[in-house]
Amino acid sequence: MNKILKGRVHKYDRDNIDTDVIIPGPYLKIHDHKELAKHAMEGIDPKFPEKVSQGDFLVTGANFGCGSSREHAPIALSQTGIKAILAPSFARIFYRNAVDGGYLLPIEVDEATFKKVSDGDELEIDLAHNAITNLTRNERYAMKPFPELVARIVEAGGLMNFKPVS
């Protein structure tokens, strides 16, 4: 896992962005990851996949990823190039799927940070120090550290590379 991430922000200022919007129901039969990426965020912004470059960040409102357990959601987003999502909170299955599948990082930030970051900003995220630098605005923010087990799964690159610890 690269400890320093750098990319541009795509911001959607909306709470409760659900999995039906991230990847609509008819695409659930698709299991080709590249194909899924073409429909990422289709319910909110059909142009989303074209806008994203490898390594970019998604910044959204609270309770991101609520709704279904479809792992298609983090897969589709990660395949567009998104490396991390910054939000005040995440829905639980989306959070687990993102981490356990090793697709992208769900990073919790506080409301104030969420408000300060704008669409198009360049960010640098230092995972070792839980610090976010806004290169465009020359500001620094804190991120909520990952809980210990989550940090270890992230480190391992996903749950598959992780042995049960009981």
**Angstrom distance (rounded) from CA 59 to CA 115:** 10
How many alpha carbons fall within 13 Å on the CB side of residue 150? 16
Which one of residues 1, 13, 53, 147 is an interface residue with another protein (CB under 8 A)?
A: 147
Contacts with another protein in 66-85 (CB under 8 A)? 66-72
Give φ, ψ of 74 to 5 degrees.
Answer: -65, -30
The least CB distance from residue 6 to another protein, in Å, is 27
The least CB distance from residue 91 to another protein, in Å, is 6
**Angstrom distance (rounded) from CA 159 to CA 86:** 21
Any idea how long the chain is? 166
Number of residues that bind another protein (CB under 8 A): 38
Q: Which positions from 22 to 61 touch another protein by CB under 8 A, shown as an x/- string?
A: --xxx-xxxx-----------x------------------
Span between the terminal Cα atoms of the chain, in Å: 25
Question: By C-beta, is 41 or 58 nearer to another protein?
Answer: 41
